[in-house]
């Protein structure tokens, strides 16, 4: 049997334009970019602005300019989720059609009219299946949920190791289009990664719990599943994610050499003490030559 040709590496960085670049953003961008370089691959830039209610005007430009000042370079044009709603709708239509073909069974996609207040009163973060018997078209305002089947999703994360989640028991039926008709992150990110041919996803460990849902959706849609690599989160003394810390400051580009070296240290790369005295290009050259993903701390969060 002929050996299957390995796909060329394609990675991506996908910030949400909800504010400036902070130290946590820098860590995720650096790990993602260096992993792509180490695999002689392409590194794409995507703005995850599918939730337009959270988008801050001008934040996308600020993020891109800041990353450029730190020496980041990406391949091709920046893509925006807000410009891809037609693609998401086509995929949603496919899922609904798939659901309708099995009308005798439980619908794969169903409308949900539950309010947030009603769900909070259940005392559980797992959706109780209240609207499972509802069918499309639905005359009331509603979200659309994907039926969670009783299956275990298992994957091996490059840093965090073996992971397992039962979609029905640990997650429940999850939203793929919101009541306000905005597409949910879980659907958008799966579609984006598939159409861009992403082979490995390097991102923060705060999204580790979302990964089984995304793999489940990939399986439902017949997409390939990329490799996953979740980086530890930078947290403050109280255990809060740096981006959500009170008064979390944007990175200071006047100290970009020092901050880039700090990010390398956070990722376990052990740069020389005097590397921060070098210019930004020399730091990137050292980082590219010495990148070793096995040195990244294998924990969900690290104090900074």
**Token pair in block for residue 208:** 């580790």
Residue with tokens 């003490």: 273
Using CA atoms, how far apart are residues 183 and 188, in angstroms rounded to an integer? 7
What stretch of H or E contains 234?
A: strand 233-235
In 3D space, the residue among 222, 214, 51, 227 whose CA is nearest the CA of residue 148 turns out to be 214
Task: Report CA-CA distances (Å) from 49 to 14, 16, 55, 64, 216.
Answer: 9, 6, 6, 14, 23
pLDDT at 103: 57
Residues 6+ positions from 171 with CB-CB distance below 8 Å: 126, 148, 165, 212, 213
**Intervals of the chain under pLDDT 50:** 1, 244-247
Backbone torsions φ then ψ of 147, nearest 5 degrees: -60, 130
Q: Looking at the chain, which residues constitute the CATH 3.40.50.620 domain(s)? A: 10-82+232-303, 86-196+208-224
**Cβ(75)–Cβ(37) under 8 Å?**
no
Domain 86-196+208-224 CATH class label: alpha beta
**DSSP 8-state secondary structure symbol assigned to residue 295:** G
Using CA atoms, how far apart are residues 204 and 201, in angstroms rounded to an integer? 10
**Token pair in block for residue 216:** 């489940």
Crossing angle for the helix pair 23-38 and 280-290, to the nearest 10 degrees: 60
Task: Report the Cα–Cα distance between both ends of the chain, in Å, rounded.
Answer: 50
pLDDT at 6: 79
Is the peptide bond preceding residue 25 cis, with omega within 30 degrees of 0?
no
Residues 6+ positions from 2 with CB-CB distance below 8 Å: none
Please tell me the CATH code under which domain 10-82+232-303 is placed: 3.40.50.620
Using CA atoms, how far apart are residues 144 and 181, in angstroms rounded to an integer? 9
């Amino acid at each position: 049997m002929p050996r299957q040709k390995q796909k060329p590496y394609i990675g991506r960085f996908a910030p949400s334009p909800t504010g400036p670049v902070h130290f946590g953003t820098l860590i995720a961008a650096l790990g993602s970019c260096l992993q792509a370089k180490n695999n002689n691959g392409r590194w794409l830039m995507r703005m995850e602005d599918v939730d337009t209610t959270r988008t801050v005007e001008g934040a996308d430009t600020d993020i891109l300019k800041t990353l450029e000042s730190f020496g980041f370079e990406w391949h091709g044009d920046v893509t925006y989720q807000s410009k891809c709603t037609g693609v998401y709708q086509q995929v949603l239509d496919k899922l609904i059609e798939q659901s309708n073909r099995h009308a005798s069974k439980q619908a794969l996609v169903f409308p949900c009219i539950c309010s947030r207040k009603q769900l909070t009163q259940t005392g559980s973060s797992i959706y109780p299946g209240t609207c499972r018997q509802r069918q499309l078209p639905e005359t009331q305002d509603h979200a659309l949920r994907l039926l969670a089947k009783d299956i275990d999703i298992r994957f091996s994360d490059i840093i965090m190791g073996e992971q397992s989640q039962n979609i029905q028991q640990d997650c429940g039926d999850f939203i793929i289009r919101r009541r306000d008709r905005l597409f949910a992150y879980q659907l958008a990110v799966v579609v984006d990664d598939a159409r861009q041919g992403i082979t490995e996803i390097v991102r923060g460990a705060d999204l580790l719990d979302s990964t089984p849902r995304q793999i489940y959706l990939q399986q439902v849609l017949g997409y390939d599943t990329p490799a996953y690599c979740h980086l530890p989160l930078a947290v403050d003394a109280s255990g809060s994610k740096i981006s959500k810390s009170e008064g979390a400051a944007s990175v200071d580009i006047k100290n970009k050499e020092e901050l880039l070296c700090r990010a390398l240290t956070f990722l376990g790369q052990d740069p020389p003490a005097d590397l921060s005295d070098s210019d930004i290009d020399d730091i990137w050259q050292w980082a590219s030559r010495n990148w070793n993903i096995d040195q990244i701390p294998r924990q969900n969060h690290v104090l900074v």
